[in-house]
Structure 1
Amino acid sequence: MIPDGVVVSVFDDRIPAVANLDPDLRDALHRAATDAAGSDVVFRVNSGWRSPEYQEQLLREAVSVYGSAEEAARWVATAETSAHVSGDAIDIGPFDATYWLSRHGAGYGLCQIYGNESWHFELRPEAVDHGCPPMYPDPTHDPRTRPDAPPFGGPL
């Protein structure tokens, strides 16, 4: 969890949301952020690694906001299936950073995964050579987030 009002850089390894990311994901983010800075684009971490407890809190809040577990699942995964809990996902802002990553992220293996979450990126090393895979419309289409999915084990 990132405390309210705190601006976090992808380089801020003192914050668990960054420090607990998969090291390969963190390295790719560092390289991309360094290159983006040359275009005056600064990456901010809106969310990175999350504890299982925090992920479940987010899910409960989403059910309250969206009115059902089915609709909430379009936006928030369970703790067992969340790429954030495993340290394999990061949410980046502001808009110019997400736009920059959407255009250049594949070169670092950083891909948008969900069509409804332009801020959500995961590491896909094969994207460096082959481009990012097609996006899922939302997490309910991702086989890793289905109720019968095994615990999250990293990128597909």
Structure 2
Amino acid sequence: MSRLLVIGLIAVAAVLIAVIGHQLSRSPNSSATLPPSSSGASPPNGEAEDPGEADGVVPDDVTVFDDGTPAVTKLDAGLLKALRQAATDAADDDIAFYVNSGWRSPEYQNQLLRKAIAEYGSEYEAARWVATAQTSPHVSGDAVDIGRSPATEWLSRHGAEYGLCQIYKNEPWHYELRAEAAEHGCPRRYADPTEDPRMRR
């Protein structure tokens, strides 16, 4: 009798394990629906998918004239116009303006911040390179990162004529529109984003 009882208990346990396992495999990962922490420090578990072009990820060899890439087309209209005017003139010197990053979705910006925190070891160090989604001029479409040194060198010499200014000393590729620069020159650059009052909102 005891042997039958043991066999019965084992069978019941096996059925329970199978049922629980089936339920777990069908239920979504509850943490996938949790928002990231407000600081962006904790990556969400079970994130559905990595950001793509619709979030502002830029494929290779995209220029400021690419009308099929949201990172370019969702830039502020004034910034994009100035970039295209400058790029047209730079083309006379055989220089193209490639875009490493432009407009970004808040989700993409938060992912970049989480990666920066992991890479640099603290939120403070990460803030020298990546802003929050709430403060980033990339999310608002007001900033562009220009790739390849000939273009950034050309812009460092001529960008102010178009209102295109480097904002941070540690990011020579990061440009924003400062319309008054055409007459008064670009404003003093911050050492890095941690000095920028906009990042303290």
- TM-score over 0.5 for the alignment? yes
* TM-score, structure 2 as length reference: 0.72
Question: Cα offset for 1:2?
Answer: 2.9
Among the aligned pairs, what percent are the same residue? 66
Partner of 1:122: 176
Q: Which residue identity is paired with 1:74? A: R
Query: Any gaps of 5 or more consecutive residues in structure 1?
Result: 150-156
Return the offset for 1:3.
4.4
CA spacing shift, 1:132–1:108, aligned 2, 3 Å: same
What amino acid is aligned across from residue 192 of structure 2 in structure 1? D
Instruction: Spell out, residue by residue over 1:85-126, the C-alpha distance to the aligned partner (whole angstroms, 9 max, x if none).
Output: 000000001001000001100000000000000000000000
Task: Name 1:20's counterpart in structure 2.
Answer: 74
| Residue in structure 2 matched with residue 139 of structure 1 by the alignment | 193
Q: Counterpart of 1:104?
A: 158
Structure 2 counterpart of 1:134, one-letter code: R
CA deviations on 1:110-143 (whole Å, 9 max, x unpaired) are 0000000000000000000000000000000000
Structure with a larger share of its residues in helix: 2
Partner of residue 76, structure 1: 130
Cα drift, residue 13 of structure 1 = 1.6
SS of 2:61's partner is coil
For residues 136 and 165 of structure 2, what CA distance do their matches in structure 1 show? 16
> Normalising by the residue count of structure 1, what TM-score does the alignment of the two structures yield?
0.92
> Over alpha carbons, which structure has the higher Rg?
2
Out of 89, 92, 99, the position equivalent to 1:45 is 99
**1:20-57 CA distances to partner (integer Å, 9 max, x unpaired)?**
00000000000000000000111100000000000000
Q: Does 1:2 align with 2:51?
A: no
Q: Secondary structure at the match of 1:38?
A: helix
Equivalent-residue separation in structure 2 for 1:59 and 1:106 (angstroms): 29
| Number of the residue aligned with 1:56 | 110
- Calculate the aligned-residue CA RMSD, in Å: 0.7
The answer for the alignment partner of 2:140 in structure 1 is 86
Structure 1 stretches of at least 4 aligned residues deviating more than 4 Å after TM superposition: none
| Alpha-carbon distance in 2 for matches of 1:7, 1:16 | 14
Give the structure 1 partner of residue 52 of structure 2: none
> Any conservation in 1 of the 2:167–2:189 contact (CA below 8 Å)?
yes
